[in-house]
Chains A and B, each alone.
Chain A
Amino acid sequence: MATEAPVIEGLERRPISLLARLKNFAVYVPFLGPFLFLVATYFFLPVVITTLLSFTGMDSKMLWDFVGLDNFKRLFSDPIIPRIARNTAIYVVFTCTFNVFFGFFLALLTTYFVERENIGLIFRSIWLLPRMTPSVIYIIMWQWFVSPTDVGFVNQILHALGQPSQAWLARQPMTIIILVNGVIGASFGMIIFSAAIKSIPVDLIRAARVDGASDLAIVRRIIVPMLKWPIMFMTVWQTLSLLASYEYILLLTDGGPFYKSEVWALNAYHRAFSSLQFGYGASIALVLVVVGIIATFIMLKLFGFRRLMEPAKAGA
């Protein structure tokens, strides 16, 4: 945490008069002012506005006409909402599972089983690349990969095996979206877990080997227990960010075909920016804002300061 300043008498420590107090305050303004201003304008104010908007029927005219609980009543009777809730659950659960398990496997294989440091590094670099790629480009590559035409990679492979082309995005939109997000998420898990595995004292693993433990036993009895916190962190963190994220879905399928891949957050986006029902969109988004706020506090309680921020530096 922060280093405490050694106290020296007389150096802005004992504000006496009101003027001195004001002067003292003025010292902080340039340092914290811009930060607080941005946080207030783009975090706190939007939370308030989302809440207020969800009680209005604001449309393209951008007028505040309060309609009470109409939006929420509509939310409960909207025939498409149960389907979207189901999609969201599938998307979050499967992607999160994929991310954590696959991230763990990649980390384990490239740090523990692959003994040569450089080879492990090559594989981890490959998996890091999609993270560094702007989302539009990443999606172009996927569009080609699963393209319904004969140009697509999967279809070219099928042709080689004597099978006809398939429109993969139309047939299996959810599976592909889980993979698209999974590759990115697994690489995050991989970075965190690799670092955690490497920080396990080598002596521990050697001692287990001398005692005749098999690789599987070492993984189960030493590595997994030592990775308890990173794995838990990754699960909670990914669940929250997946609930709120929809950028790749928007780019790849835009929720289609026929709402097959529409998730909660994307639905809020569509209501607001495609049908221009800002009020109704805000009420759908409000659910996520509330979930987000609660989850964030739970995370802070569960992991504390350090655990919450440290992996973030690597994941950025």
Chain B
Amino acid sequence: MQTQKTPTTVPAELVAKVPLRERIRVRAGKILVYSFLVLVSAPIVVMYVWLFMQSISTQVLLGFMPQKLSLNNWRFLWGEVTIGVKTYISIWPVVLNTFLFAIGVTFLVVLVSTLSGFALSRFQFRGRTQLTSMTILLHAFPGVTLLIAIYYILFALWKVPIIGPIIGLNSIWGVVFVKSALEIPMAAWIVKGFFDDISWDIEWAAYVDGCSRLQAWRRVILPVIQPGIASVAIFAFLAGWSEFLYLFTFIFEQKNFTLSLYVKQLIGDFKFVDYGLLSAAALFYMIPPLLFFLFTQKSLLKVSFGGIKG
């Protein structure tokens, strides 16, 4: 099959014997494979190209031919936007909210998963196996089915004096807890894997030097798995940054909006949609995931099953 490109697999005398008809068949198969791949991938590329072109021009033909360049679509960056009679709030407080939300999720996920991952990996206690399998079950269970009940919990918390407005409904911090809780089972499992790889000698050394378990965890073990923690943190940040459904359900007031809600509001009534403004806002919202994608797509695709070469 692989005629010229892999000389090591097929001895030269065999290659010479491959008849012309066979070679044409192989070439035709290749063309078929590539055209299929190009054909099914093209719509995705077209969408992203359109998003970019639309954001910098007034009109786009067929998704990739901008007609008249303009920065007017990006006007939301320097002021309030008015469409028809509706005025949208300035985007910067919204950006701040999104950052706070994503950072909150990152902090909570990293903190709780490194603590519990350590316990699951290193402690010997009754019920450890059960707790480990529970972590896995929680990861597989679709948490979104519990949305209505979580709404009620946030509603009940909201009525609690003093802390209510912080961790209840209509507060991004309340949703931070919900979102983190959903992310933590998987994060804890991944972090546990990192801890499993650390030699016990390092930990014993810390105890011999007089550390408590908490001190050993913070001063000795955590620094060793820093790269692993960084990847968990990045994933948590992106999950928080992109979150839509929970925020959409639990946040009512514009002042607490994040970018996903802001963009959703812009979509509004989609008959009168202003694609220019919409695509510019969407692109702006997409900057962090896009940067992450550009820098890491190679290693993202290599994260695998068994860690065989990618």
Q: Footprint of B on A, CB under 8 Å?
A: 1-6, 8, 11, 27-28, 30-32, 34-35, 38-39, 41-43, 45-50, 53, 62, 106, 109-110, 113-115, 121, 123-130, 132-137, 139-145, 151, 153, 156-157, 183, 191-192, 194-196, 198-199, 206, 209, 214-215, 230, 237, 240-241, 243-247, 250-251, 265, 268-269, 272-273, 278, 281-282, 285, 288-289, 292-293, 296-297, 299-300, 305, 308-314, 316
Query: Which of A106, A114, A128, A140 is B279 in contact with, Cβ under 8 Å?
Result: A140
Of the candidates B33, B141, B260, which one forms a contact with A293 in the assembled complex, judged by CB atoms under 8 Å apart?
Answer: B141
Within 8 A of A (CB), among B96-155: 111-113, 115-116, 118-125, 128, 131-134, 136-153, 155
With A43-B138, A137-B263 as contacts: A153 and B63 at CB distance below 8 Å: yes
User: Is the beta-carbon distance between B282 and A140 smaller than 8 angstroms?
Assistant: yes
Which of B69-77, B78-86, B87-95, B237-245 is the contact stretch?
B237-245
Check if B301 sits within 8 Å of A134, measured CB to CB: no
Minimal Cβ-Cβ distance residue in A for B185: A39
A50 CB contact (under 8 Å) in B134, B149, B186, B190: B149
Q: Is the CB of A299 within 8 A of B115?
A: no
**A121, A151, A265: which contacts B145 (Cβ < 8 A)?**
A265
**Cα separation A132 to B112 with both chains bound (whole Å):** 24
- Point out residues on B near A: beta carbons under 8 Å: 1-2, 5-6, 9-10, 29-30, 33-34, 36-37, 40-41, 43-48, 50-51, 54, 61-63, 111-113, 115-116, 118-125, 128, 131-134, 136-153, 155, 177-178, 180-182, 184-186, 188-190, 192, 196, 200, 204, 207, 212-214, 217, 235, 238, 241-242, 244-245, 249, 259-260, 263-264, 267, 270, 273, 275, 278-279, 282, 285-286, 289-290, 292-293, 297-298, 300-306, 308-310
B244 touches A136 (CB 8 A): yes
A143–B279 Cα gap in the complex (Å)?
Answer: 11
Residues on B with C-beta less than 8 A from A192 are: 305
Q: How far is it, in angstroms, between the C-alpha of A32 and the C-alpha of B134 when the chains are bound?
A: 13
Pick the contact of B140: A62, A115, A299, A314 (CB < 8 A). Answer: A299
Is the beta-carbon distance between B303 and A313 smaller than 8 angstroms?
Answer: yes
Check if B132 sits within 8 Å of A305, measured CB to CB: yes
With a cutoff of 8 Å between Cβ atoms, the chain B residues found around residue A314 in the complex are 303-305
- Find chain B residues with CB under 8 A from A32 CB: 115-116, 119, 131
Report whether B270 and A143 are in contact in the complex, using a CB–CB cutoff of 8 Å. Answer: yes
Nearest residue (CB) in A for B201 is A6
Find the B residue at minimum CB distance from A279: B148
- Chain B, interface SS category: helix
A121 and B302 CA atoms in complex are apart in Å by 10
Q: Check if B155 sits within 8 Å of A62, measured CB to CB.
A: yes
What's the Cα separation between A195 and B310 when bound, in Å?
Answer: 7
B308 contacts which chain A residues (CB < 8 A)? 195, 198-199
Are B301 and A240 in contact, with the CB atoms below 8 A?
no
**Contact of A198 with B48 in the complex, beta carbons under 8 Å:** no
Q: Which of A42, A43, A134, A194 contacts B285 (CB 8 A)?
A: A134
Cα of A140 to Cα of B61 in the assembled complex, Å: 17
How far is the CB of A95 from the nearest CB of chain B, in Å? 15
What separation, in Å, do the CA atoms of A296 and B136 have in the docked complex?
9
Interface CB pairs A-B, < 8 A, 6: A31-B213, A62-B155, A121-B298, A134-B244, A134-B289, A243-B142
User: Given A34-B112, A137-B285, A308-B140, is A153 in contact with B46 using a C-beta cutoff of 8 Å?
Assistant: yes
Q: What DSSP secondary structure best describes chain A's contact surface?
A: helix
Cβ-defined contact, B213 with A27, below 8 A = yes
- Complex Cα distance, B37 from A144, in Å, reads 23
10 nearest interchain CB pairs?
Answer: A244-B142, A195-B304, A42-B181, A35-B116, A46-B149, A46-B146, A134-B242, A49-B149, A31-B119, A141-B47
A9 and B30 CA atoms in complex are apart in Å by 66
Q: Are A240 and B142 in contact (CB under 8 A)?
A: yes
With a CB–CB cut-off of 8 A, which chain B residues contact A135? Answer: 242, 244-245, 260
Contact A141 B241 (CB under 8 A): no
- Whole-angstrom distance between the alpha carbons of A109 and B301 in the complex? 15
Q: Please determine whether B293 and A132 come into contact, CB atoms closer than 8 angstroms.
A: yes
Residues of A within 8 A of B155 (CB): 62
Cα A211 to Cα B50 in complex, Å, equals 49
Among B63, B149, B196, max chain A CB count under 10 A is at B149
A105–B303 Cα distance when bound, in Å, is: 20
B120 touches A195 (CB 8 A): no
CB atoms of A123 and B37 under 8 A apart: yes
- With a CB–CB cut-off of 8 A, which chain B residues contact A312? 139, 186, 189
A144 touches B123 (CB 8 A): no
Q: Nearest-CB distance from A203 to chain B (Å)?
A: 10
Q: Across the interface, which residues of B come within 8 angstroms of A273, CB to CB?
A: 151, 249
Q: If the complex has contacts A28-B123, A141-B50, are A305 and B267 also in contact, measured as CB distance less than 8 A?
A: no
Contact A39–B138 (Cβ < 8 Å) = yes
Most chain B CB neighbours (cut-off 10 Å) among A141, A196, A215, A273: A141
Residue of B nearest to A38 (CB): B181
B244 touches A130 (CB 8 A): no
Pair B264/A300 contact, Cβ less than 8 Å: no
Contact residues in A for B279 (Cβ distance below 8 Å): 140
B146 touching A50 by the CB < 8 A rule? Answer: yes
Can you name 4 extra interface pairs (CB under 8 A) apart from A133-B286, A143-B270, A305-B133? A27-B212, A48-B149, A141-B50, A194-B304
Quote the shortest CB–CB distance from B168 to chain A (angstroms). 13
Across the interface, which residues of A come within 8 angstroms of B141, CB to CB? 43, 292-293, 296
Inter-chain contact A289/B145, CB cutoff 8 Å: yes
Interface hub of A31, A139, A293 (most chain B Cβ within 10 A): A31
